[in-house]
Chain A
Amino acid sequence: MLKWTLKNLIAEPWHLFASVSAIAGAFALVMFFEAVFAGESKQIVAYIDHSDADVWVMQKGVSNMHMATSFVSDWKAGSVGEVEGVSKVTPILYLNTVMQAGDKRWFSFIVGLEDEGQRAGPWAIVEGKSIPAHHEAIVPSVLAKITGLKLGDEVTIAGHTFNVAGLSDNTFSMANSITFITAPDLADIMSTIGSMSYFLIDAEPNVDASELALRIKNEVEKVNAIPKERFVNNDWNVAMQMGTEIIGMMTIIGGALAVLLTSFAVYSHTIRRERELAVVKALGVQNRVIYASVMTQATWLAFLGFIMATAMVWLAVPITASFVPQVTLHVTPLGLFRIGFTALLVALISCIIPVRRMLGIDPVHAFSA
């Protein structure tokens, strides 16, 4: 019976290919959205990741960077520097605001760098300088590509004018592009005196980051200190949380679509052979065997659809990168697992309608000519 079912599946390869492609399309849709969100989230933590400090110090009560505001008095940089195990302290100023070039406006994170701020600056320069001078800005190269900005052009940050002095890679995402200016310029914009936002801490060799963070928290008043890995995770979670609802909805829509398509495919591969089913029943095949074979068929269809969808998304990653640079796709194992699980559910649910029809077929029809 199982052999019969599977042979029915492959008896018409083009039909099978069409069914699997349709199912794969539904899964790929969900995977694509997940990958977009994961890519976006990855970009959101890109700065923390690449600046590669061992510990981050911030205002007490703050525990992440994305969409957060933190102020720490600049003299505390000295106190933190005296904590045992700290080798270097690099303070930055940080602001979420609107940037404008020509008539285009976009939301941006501005990082203000001190004179010796290379440590916290852009890590992949495409063109121009990597460290901004007074009234200069280093902007993402993707932004330049989209808006047509060139070196020397003017941009406006919160009403202040800057010249583009450098273009950096890897600092753009739809929700989070990073622009670097000098700390005094940013302090001017923010009208703050004597405050920085975060300190990037480099530890001395063989010092454990968690222990160091704990020591800083205990020894310096009113600051929070978090090891890099945890800081990255915090931001990642904040970013993914914003996507969770949309991803959830997409999964439901894509899953429902896949159920519909798988149902239809099982239908057209087996129920179409209504007469053969009547014959099979007349020969003595039990209904539960028929159920199991439909289940197998649906599982195969969903599995093949899942594999094909994975391949489709895998191909989409480089294609998207070259044609739609503002979107970063990132395929995570968790995302794959989630769709794999959805595929299993899809297989189960999509059996219901075909099975009901199949169980209703009367074996006596084998005799009707």
Chain B
Amino acid sequence: MTTPNPVLQAEHLVKTFGTGHTAVHAVNDVSLKVIPGELVVIKGPSGSGKTTLVSMLGALLSPDSGSISIDGAKFTELNDVELAALRARKIGFIFQSFNLLEALSVEENILFPAHLSPGGTRAAQSRADALLKKLNLEHRRDASPKTLSGGEKQRVAIARALINQPQLIFADEPTGNLDSQSGQEVMMILHDVARDQGCSVVLVTHDPRVEDIADRILWLEDGALRDRKSEQHSWVKDPVCGMRVDEWTATLFAEHQGERQVFCSQRCLEKFEANPDLYLIPDTEGPGKSAL
């Protein structure tokens, strides 16, 4: 079996914000490939450069160096006009805050990008109908986005991202503003999009449920990709409450006597920092007992 040609290929991407000693190396030498129909999840601590990376891959932000190609065509040298045309035709976006256009109805929102594609809205109407049906939005067709629930809004945003049949979908924390049920729904829809329509999905999320649907999980830390097997977790104990925490995705750390401690919450971290020795007692006594 030969590996199919990648739909997205990035090489040695670098993006630095600011200069001098205030410079932030948001993305530092990242290379990756995404093949058609693949659902790639990017994880990493806050500030690790996930949004910056996805913005560059989605032709919204130009890298300081490195190159990106979609369908084998490099776009890092294109001008703004060409980039906008590329986004309109080949890329769909899904945002954490939905970003629907408030003055337009559900259907008009979905059809909005169709104006930017060669086929126009006429050709897109049947696709819009199908998407409305598939995403269970038919009864909300003429509704204003203001009246929709979070889950509905995000489904509209997904339909809008799909209307021009893009090859790539970029989603940055699409479930961040949703309750767990709606979040689950959105995850399943994205999974179907990748599996059934051959559209590649690059998904940034903290949501642990993606483990089940991701073809590949990339771990971004300090702007660089690190190895991490998707199936594996590195479970460690929060020394304060004793809860199981995944060291890979945890965001709260403290160094104490040369040892790294991981915490489930800001509250546990604060308790620990107030009196570390209280929690670092021999294992035999059981975790967290003295904290109670």
Contacts and interface: CB of A to CB of B under 8 A. Distances in A.
B97 A369 contact: yes
Contacts of B160: 283
A205 interface: no
Contact of B95 (A281, A286, A287, A366): A366
B249 interface: no
B60 A283 contact: no
Contacts of B30: none
A364 B61 contact: yes
Interface stretch (B81-89, B180-188, B195-203, B233-241): B81-89
Given A282-B60, A283-B88, A367 B104 contact: no
14 contacts: A3-B104, A4-B101, A7-B108, A279-B99, A279-B101, A283-B160, A284-B89, A285-B84, A363-B60, A363-B84, A364-B55, A364-B61, A366-B95, A367-B95
Contacts of B152: none
Contact of B60 (A1, A11, A287, A366): A366
B115 A1 contact: yes
Interface string B99-140: 101111000100011011000000000000000000000000
B268 interface: no
A7 B103 contact: yes
Interface of B: 51, 54-55, 58, 60-61, 80-81, 84-89, 91, 93, 95-97, 99, 101-104, 108, 112-113, 115-116, 160, 172-173, 176
Given A3-B108, A364-B61, A366-B93, A11 B88 contact: no
Given A283-B88, A284-B85, A286-B81, A276 B101 contact: yes
Nearest to B173: A369
A369 B81 CA distance: 25
Contacts, number: 75
A369 B96 CA distance: 7
A275 B116 CA distance: 19
A220 interface: no
A-B pairs, top 3 by smallest CB distance, nearest first, are A284-B88, A7-B103, A284-B87
Interface in A272-293: 273, 275-276, 279-287
A280 B54 CA distance: 18
Contacts of B102: 11, 273, 276
Contacts of A286: 81, 84-85
B84 A276 contact: no
A196 B35 CA distance: 104
How many of chain A's residues touch chain B, expressed as a range? 20 to 34
Contact of B104 (A4, A282, A284, A363): A4
Interface of A: 1, 3-4, 7-8, 11, 273, 275-276, 279-287, 363-364, 366-369
A283 B87 contact: yes
Contacts of A279: 95, 99, 101
Chain A's interface: helix, strand, loop or mixed, by majority?
Answer: helix
Given A4-B104, A366-B93, A281 B99 contact: no
A275 B80 contact: no
A36 to B, nearest CB: 41
Contact of B172 (A1, A363, A367): A367
Contacts of A275: 99
Contacts of B93: 282-283, 366
Given A280-B101, A367-B55, A4 B112 contact: yes
Contact of A367 (B54, B88, B89, B113): B54
Given A4-B112, A284-B113, A366 B84 contact: no
A284 B112 CA distance: 10
A284 B95 contact: no
A70 to B, nearest CB: 67
Nearest to B161: A283
| Residue of A8, A275, A284, A285 with highest tally of chain B CB at under 10 A | A284
Contacts of A366: 60, 93, 95, 99
Given A11-B102, A367-B51, A369-B97, 12 more contacts: A4-B104, A7-B103, A283-B112, A284-B88, A284-B89, A284-B91, A285-B116, A286-B84, A286-B85, A363-B84, A364-B55, A367-B60
Contacts of B116: 283-285
Contacts of B81: 286-287
Contacts of B60: 282, 363-364, 366-367
A46 B91 CA distance: 72
B84 A284 contact: yes
Nearest to A276: B101
| Residue of B55, B58, B81, B160 with highest tally of chain A CB at under 10 A | B55
A128 B101 CA distance: 72
Contacts of B99: 275-276, 279, 366
A279 B87 CA distance: 12
